[in-house]
Structures are given as C-alpha cells and as structure tokens.
Structure 1
Amino acid sequence: MIRSANEVMVLATKAARGAGAPAAQAAQFGAAAVVHLIEGRDIEVLDTALASLPDGPIIELPLALMRIVEGQVEGIAQGPLDQSQNALVQSYVAAMPCAAALTAEGVVHIDLNRRAPRAAVQRINLSEQTYAAWTALAAALLVPESDASRLSGAGAGLTDND
C-alpha cells in the first residue's frame, strides 16, 4: 500500500521504540528507513536491524556518526564507518540533516556548515506485511486500557468529562 514518507518515518520510529531503541536512535532509524525505502534498498535490512534490538545497527550507527562529528574541525568531519551493514550505513548518511557523503572505502565526509540537499517528498510503497509487523512492534509502546493504568497517569484518568 502507498503511504506518505512522513507516515513511514513515524511508524519506523515507533517500531524501533517498541523494539527497545532509545528515542534519539529510534528517530534516526525512522529518517534512515525513509531514505532506505525511497532509494529502493532491501527492506529485509530494516527488518533485521529491528530484530537485533536492543543491540545492533540502530544503536551503533548513530553513535558512530556522533563520534565522527565530535572530531570536527571548523565544521568538517570525516571518519570510517563499519561497512558490515553497508546498505543501512548509506541510508543513515543520506538521512543526515547536513551535507554528508560516504566513499566506497567506507569513509564518511560530513560538512556541518551546509544543509543536506533534499529531493521532493515521495510516497512509499510499504507492503501490508511490513506495515503489520512494524505496527505490532509500535504497539509495545502502549499501556493496557485499565483503571490501574489510568490511576498511574495514562490517558484522561478516571474522570474524563470533555
């Protein structure tokens, strides 16, 4: 089924959160997932990354990119990235908000002084099977509907009168 890039990004982010990723890494995964799918890369890479949580590339790639950026000089940073997840590495680099490029040797070049060029937003064909699997992961973020959860602060509480 055809979905908006924003819908896919939010769903991928929630799926990563539901599978155990911290919020920041989940958000970066959501952005990278959209790039990954727009570029026509294999969706299995995304599913494998989700299945490897709470470890794996969803945790490791943002941290590796952050370490490279921490070493920047005058807004320019570069450093090697592990190429064992090459397709996912490409998607993470392309999803960065600043100009970044990955060489064939696995070295990322980041220019913090320039914004990343962005193509027009596209729609993404996401299979019903993937949509259902990611929705199930995202559902792990929800609390059960009960008086006990409402007493703990979930929802509108016990006296919803609007």
Structure 2
Amino acid sequence: MSYSAAEISALATKAARGAGAPPEQAARFGRASVVHLAQNRAVEMLTDALDALPGGVILWAPLAVDRALSSLADDPAGARVEARGHPALVQSYLEASPHGIVIERVDTDAFDISVTAAATGTSVPPVRLSDCDRCIAVMTTLAARTFVPESAASRLGGAGAGLTDND
C-alpha cells in the first residue's frame, strides 16, 4: 500500500505525541519521517526512535540540527551535528529542516555528521511512499493514544460537548 507524504507526516507526528514526545519534537519527527522513507532509509530506525520515547533521538535530534544550522549561518564552510549513533535518522532531520537549507555534502560516521550548505531553498517531498506497512502499524497504535475514548467519564471530564447536546 502507498501513502501520501502528508499522511506519513501526520501519522508520525501523532505517533510521537502518543509515545510522549513534546509537540515541536513530534512535528519535526513527522517531517523527518517523510524524508527518511523517501530516501529508502531503514524503516526500523523510525520505530526504534518511537520505542525510545520519552527519551532518545526524537528529543535531541531537532536541537542538535538547530545548533548546527545556526553554526552554518555564521560559517557556511561547515558545521558538525552530533549523531550519537543515529547518522541516517539525523541526516533525515537535516534534510527535513524547516529553515530551507539545501545540504550540499554530508559526511557521516556513527557519532558526528559534517554538513556544508550550498544555498537556501526548498525540497519537494515525494508524492507517494510505500513499503512501510509495519511502521504504519506501529505509528497507528501509538497515535491512537492521543484519542480520548467516548465515555460518560470523558464527557464529565469535559471532552466534546460534555453531557449537553446543543444540536
């Protein structure tokens, strides 16, 4: 089955939220997931990152990428990003950066990534992604944690319109 980039991004974001990530880190994980799958990188890295929550790469990668991109603004010749054993996933975060940096060259090892920016610009996500059914199943299960079940207790707690029907 194939999925749109928007579906993957939204589902990955909700899955990260359901697994305990803060909103911004979850949103950045959603964008990085699309790039990660579009580049045919290992799907297991995404599910492993979700399993590591409420800690792990989903929390620190956006901060490491922002720090490196800030360094690139000061010195376009290059910057280093801590990869902490997750170079492919951190590279996906770099490529999904909301700052419009086009990555010219990335040298990776298990612990650091060297980045050189060519120019600013935007990247176009792929239209459809496939071969990620197991990842989709894991993400769907975690995303379901963000939903409030419909029950009298949730209604009394303020979910929905409460116990009144305004129709």
TM-score range, shorter chain: 0.7 to 0.9
Which residue is equivalent to 2:94?
Answer: 93
d(CA) in 2 for partners of 1:34 and 1:148?
37
d(CA) in 2 for partners of 1:143 and 1:33?
25
Which residue is equivalent to 2:158?
Answer: 153
Consecutive unaligned residues in structure 2, runs of 5 or more? none
Mapping 1:46-61, distance limit 5 Å = 46-61=46-61
Which residue is equivalent to 1:32?
Answer: 32
Mapping 1:133-152, distance limit 5 Å = 133-152=138-157
d(CA) in 1 for partners of 2:73 and 2:7?
36
Contact kept, 8 Å, 1:100 with 1:108, in 2: the verdict is no
Contact kept, 8 Å, 1:93 with 1:100, in 2: the verdict is no
TM-score, with normalisation over the residues of structure 2? 0.83
d(CA) in 1 for partners of 2:73 and 2:129?
37
Match of 1:121 among 100, 117, 126: 126
Cα gap change, 1:147/1:110 in structure 2, threshold over 3 Å: closer, same or farther?
farther
- Aligned AA (1:107): S
d(CA) in 1 for partners of 2:70 and 2:96?
18
d(CA) in 1 for partners of 2:55 and 2:77?
26
Q: In the TM superposition, what is the alpha-carbon distance from 1:145 to its structure 2 partner?
A: 1.8
Consecutive unaligned residues in structure 1, runs of 5 or more? none
1:15 aligned to 2:15? yes
TM-score, with normalisation over the residues of structure 1? 0.86
Which residue is equivalent to 1:107?
Answer: 114
Fraction of identical pairs, as percent: 46
Contact kept, 8 Å, 2:34 with 2:125, in 1: the verdict is no
Contact kept, 8 Å, 2:80 with 2:115, in 1: the verdict is yes
d(CA) in 1 for partners of 2:75 and 2:7?
32
d(CA) in 2 for partners of 1:132 and 1:73?
39
d(CA) in 2 for partners of 1:150 and 1:78?
54
